[in-house]
């Protein structure tokens, strides 16, 4: 029998009910639900659930099969009705592993890891913060987004940042509403050290799900993580086709 994990948003009654039905069917098919020994994980929900699963599974290197049940579902691989056929393909080895770079922030003795992005912003009334990136620039803005290639199609894209292909191990720094028309996103690979020079209610978030309060003059080190998120991909995966379908990228004239 094959051990697998099933991860879903338990707070959502509809998704939780669907997940329980899926688990019953999987057991009938001979699968054992055991996250500790799982060969792969089925993740039911939207991109937020996949981001949570990515952090849970990164150290164990368990690959993720995303089933779209939530909102946009950009990172999901299949729809629910494709599950049985997909499991047969996995049994026959008809899939590839798509490894994605993760990012981590070291601050106040803590390490936060993210698949999409690390964001430093103000938690209170809309006021600017000032951040100095050592050896690079000083930003006056509503915040900064430090994005991976995977996260480049998320908050970074909304802030006017560039799209990176999934195989890139670079990081994008994009300012949120900068107070200068000359500020542009920067793509780099090296670790950076940021200093919060102004921002009494500033916070740092990882994938919008983990949070650390910051204080003025605090240093934050942000770098590429050694951990990877691994996705199960079926034949025919086309990144730019997905971007076009999700965001209308490159419409025909």
What are the pLDDT digits (tens) for 204-250? 999 999 999 999 999 999 999 999 999 999 977 788 888 888 887 76
Inside any domain, residue 192 = yes
Residue 108 token pair:
């106040």
According to DSSP, the β-strands at 143-147 and 171-176 are antiparallel
Of 94, 123, 145, the domain-final residue: 94
pTM score, whole prediction: 0.93
Number of folded domains that form the chain: 2
Query: How far apart are alpha carbons 47 and 163 in whole angstroms?
Result: 17
pLDDT of 133: 97
What contacts 8, CB < 8 A, 6 or more positions away?
15, 16, 18, 19, 43, 44, 45, 49, 69
- Which residue(s) pair with 174 in the sheet? 145
Residues 188 and 205 in one domain: yes
Domain carrying residue 54: 3-94
Residues that are catalytic:
47
Inside any domain, residue 165 = yes
Which among 118, 117, 116, 120 has a CA at the least distance from the CA of 129?
120
Inside any domain, residue 233 = no
């Amino acid at each position: 029998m094959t051990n697998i994990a099933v991860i879903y948003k338990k707070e959502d009654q509809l998704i939780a009910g669907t997940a329980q039905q899926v688990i019953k069917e999987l057991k009938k098919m001979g699968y054992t639900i055991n996250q500790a020994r799982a060969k792969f994980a089925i993740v039911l929900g939207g991109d937020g659930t996949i981001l949570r699963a990515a952090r849970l599974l990164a150290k164990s290197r368990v690959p993720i099969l995303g089933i779209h049940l939530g909102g946009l579902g950009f990172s999901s691989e299949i729809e629910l009705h494709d599950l049985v056929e997909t499991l047969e393909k996995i049994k026959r080895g008809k899939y590839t592993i798509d490894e994605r770079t993760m990012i981590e922030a070291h601050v106040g003795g803590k390490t936060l890891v993210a698949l999409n992005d690390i964001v430093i912003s103000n938690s209170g009334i809309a006021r600017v913060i000032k951040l100095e990136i050592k050896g690079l620039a000083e930003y006056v803005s509503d915040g900064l987004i430090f994005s991976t290639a995977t996260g480049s199609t998320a908050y970074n894209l909304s802030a006017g940042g560039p799209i990176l292909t999934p195989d890139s191990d670079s990081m994008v720094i994009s300012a949120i509403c900068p107070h200068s028309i000359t500020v542009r996103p920067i793509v780099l690979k090296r670790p950076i050290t940021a200093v919060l020079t102004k921002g009494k209610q500033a916070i740092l978030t990882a994938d919008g799900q983990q949070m650390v309060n910051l204080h003025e003059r605090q240093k934050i080190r942000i770098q590429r993580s050694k951990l990877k998120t691994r996705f199960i991909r079926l034949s025919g995966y086309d990144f730019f086709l997905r971007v076009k379908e999700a965001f209308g990228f490159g419409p025909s004239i």
